[in-house]
A and B are shown apart, each in its own frame.
Chain A
């Protein structure tokens, strides 16, 4: 069994490549939603326990448990999100329960999107997305520190242009 796990690891996180993770600040951002949910659910559960309305209290407790599970799950999910730049293509690996690996040759890049929403901009992170002629290409790297995102975009653009010039 362990050899299968090693094989899977080699497929999704090839040890021959230099992998970069995403910023821990992404975790902080993503944890806002479950945190709020946990606080609200806990408050409601407490309130309805005091009022002795047990069915509602149980529902609130279940919601709390789900939010806690989400909160605990997030770091695993975000740690699994990483990318590697190779000579001729970019690798993006993500997902814990369902693992995904996307390989985009630099020559196929059409647009490189760097995007930072208001919250992301506040904590200084941005996402970089590679767009190809395909609608199903799924190569988005969220939560890169702004300077890293800009450097990555510049490198990718340069490589894309070099590739186009080579054609």
Chain B
């Protein structure tokens, strides 16, 4: 399956090294200024020295320094660009990079699961894009290739998909048959903003409660206004966290649209950085609806999916919206899509609630907790501040667990959990009566096997 490595490589866009390292460059310059502040002041002295010199000499020194520093940076960027390249040969993509430590990477295109086009903010300004290659599980992490002009990125993406052999090819152009994308849902950016504010409202409410209590306690204890203000400081990092998380999430989820193509669901989102992702249905490990308290008042919900192996890669794992299928929509729309993705019709699931005695352990959630088994999947409802509905297809179950703490033992309850592949965010059915839990764990383990066998006849 390996192809010989071609001699000549295609080059990426000449701005690539700059786009990849502008953050570091800024950080280095900022750090240098901070560290060498005193020395910079001495440069001021040097400036006075220069002014005493003939004009020509001072110009020579000033320009010389500038040329030297920028020369080093520019030539590093040039060398780095010259030494990076890619080539497509047969069914293999070759990528070479690195100045001091050379890296050669061969990507087997027959293991390609999907190619997404990404445009971080800076790249978008220059009209560039990078490709993110997702490979089948077990054959290495994702590979990023960039930057290219947006047009080139689209062409290369089509070429890679064609070579992966997973799409029929148009004979006249040699490119894969155009992937028609049927739009499913567009979320207005204003709605995303409202939803973010509503969700933050709850945390801000709790924070306000803290502020009031803190101030009252301090004043009652005889502290002056100064002490009362000081008591507010612990709330500050909290507020910052709520704010920054909310803003970053809004920036990712704004401008959101969802479509359907041959490869699966296509997600487009991002205000500053544009993101396009594909969710192949075969890799879906689980689907979740979440309804925060404040959203329930207006009838909104969020839909997320667990995609095998997609969360693993570094910076992206930190993004709160990495698994979002619908950032916010009406409960009816979300329920409809939930059915589309998971094949489970929630109104036809026979949910079994938990017994009344659960109130002793979980007073607010007890009325919501429930489990339902369908022909192909297990559904559970959990949570109370944020109500969640989660479904895991039997074929995706890796193992099943039951747990029972001391209080649960007194009440004759036990919790049941499903372990999914890496990338799944968990499925659990808390506080089932033990006899039900017993039946449930064995039913799940049994169905996991039969479902898997049915998938691989």
A72 to B351, CA, bound (A): 44
Q: Quick one: closest B residue to A90, CB to CB?
A: B399
Choice from A14, A102, A133 contacting B400 with Cβ under 8 Å = A102
Q: Are the CB atoms of B399 and A11 closer together than 8 Å?
A: no
Q: How far is the CB of B139 from chain A (nearest CB, A)?
A: 14
| Residue A135 at the chain B interface, CB threshold 8 Å | yes
20 CB < 8 A contacts A-B? A7-B434, A7-B438, A11-B414, A11-B434, A11-B438, A88-B446, A97-B406, A99-B404, A99-B409, A100-B404, A101-B401, A104-B399, A105-B399, A107-B449, A108-B397, A134-B424, A135-B419, A136-B417, A136-B419, A167-B456
Shortest Cβ distance from residue B382 to the other chain A in the assembled complex, whole angstroms: 16
Is there an interface contact between A98 and B405, defined as CB atoms closer than 8 Å? yes
**Cβ contacts under 8 Å, A11 to chain B:** 402, 404, 414, 434-435, 437-438, 441
B426 touches A136 (CB 8 A): yes
Interface core residue of B414, B419, B441 (most chain A CB under 10 Å): B419
| A154 interfacial contact with B, CB 8 Å | no
> B414 contacts A8, CB within 8 Å?
yes
Q: Could you tell me if B402 and A101 are in contact, using CB atoms closer than 8 angstroms?
A: yes
Contact B399 A139 (CB under 8 A): yes
Q: How far is the CA of A11 from the CA of B436 in the complex (A)?
A: 9
| A103 pairs with B434, CB closer than 8 A | no
Interface assignment of A28: CB less than 8 Å from any CB of chain B? no
Smallest Cβ-Cβ distance to A164: which chain B residue: B456
Give A166 to B402 CA distance when docked, in angstroms.
28
Residue of A nearest to B440 (CB): A11
Partner of B419, one of A88, A99, A132, A167: A132
Instruction: Tell me if B441 and A103 are in contact (CB < 8 A).
Output: yes
Residues of B within 8 A of A137 (CB): 398-399, 419
Bound Cα distance from A10 to B434, whole angstroms: 9
Docked complex: A50-93 residues within 8 A CB-CB of B: 88-89
Query: Which 3 A-B residue pairs are closest in the complex by CB-CB distance?
Result: A4-B412, A134-B398, A134-B419
Say which residue of A102, A104, A133, A166 sits within 8 Å of B453 (CB atoms). A166
Q: What is the CA–CA distance of A107 and B446 in the complex, to the nearest angstrom?
A: 11
Let me know if A105 and B441 touch, CB within 8 A.
no
B323 to chain A, nearest CB (A): 16
- Give the size of the chain B interface in residues (CB under 8 angstroms): 36
- The 0/1 profile, CB within 8 Å of A marked 1, for residues 112-148 of chain B is 0000000000000000000000000100000000000
Given contacts A7-B438, A11-B437, contact A134 B401 (CB under 8 A): no
CA distance A133 to B420 in the complex (A): 7
Interface residues of B in 423-457 (CB under 8 A from A): 424, 426, 433-435, 437-438, 441-442, 444-446, 448-449, 452-453, 456
**B422 interface residue (CB < 8 Å to A):** yes
Q: Is A48 an interface residue (CB 8 A)?
A: no
A167 B452 Cβ-Cβ under 8 A: yes
Among residues of A, the one whose C-beta sits closest to the C-beta of B432 is A11
Q: Please name all residues of chain A whose beta carbon is closer than 8 Å to the beta carbon of B433 when the two chains form the complex.
A: 7
> Which residue in B402, B409, B446, B449 is a CB contact (below 8 Å) of A100?
B402
Q: Closest residue to B412 on the A side, CB-wise?
A: A4
From A99, A133, A166, B398 is in contact (CB under 8 Å) with A133
**A100–B448 CB distance below 8 A:** no
Majority SS at the chain A contact face:
mixed
- Residue B186 at the chain A interface, CB threshold 8 Å: no
A133 touches B441 (CB 8 A): no
Q: Is the CB of A135 within 8 A of B414?
A: no
Q: Enumerate chain B residues within 8 angstroms of A98, measured Cβ to Cβ.
A: 403-406
A108 touches B399 (CB 8 A): yes
- Pair B448/A133 contact, Cβ less than 8 Å: no
A8 proximity list for chain B (CB < 8 A): 404, 409, 412, 414, 434
Kindly state whether residue B231 has any CB partner on chain A within 8 Å.
no
A20 to B438, CA, bound (A): 20
Q: Give a binary string over A133-153; 1 marks a CB under 8 Å from any B CB, 0 the rest.
A: 111111100000000000000
Report the minimum CB–CB distance from A57 to chain B (whole Å). 33
Is B421 in the interface zone, CB < 8 Å from A?
Answer: yes
A167 to B401, CA, bound (A): 24
- In the complex, what residues of B have CB within 8 A of residue A105's CB? 397, 399, 445, 448-449, 452
Residues of B within 8 A of A88 (CB): 446, 449
Cα A97 to Cα B437 with chains together (Å): 18
B405 to chain A: closest residue by CB: A98
List the B residue with the shortest CB-CB distance to A4: B412
Across the interface, do B412 and A133 meet the contact criterion of CB distance under 8 Å? no
CB-nearest residue of chain B relative to A98?
B405
Nearest B residue (CB) for A96: B406
Add 7 more A-B contacts to A11-B435, A103-B401, A138-B419 (CB < 8 A): A4-B409, A7-B438, A8-B409, A8-B412, A8-B414, A98-B405, A132-B421
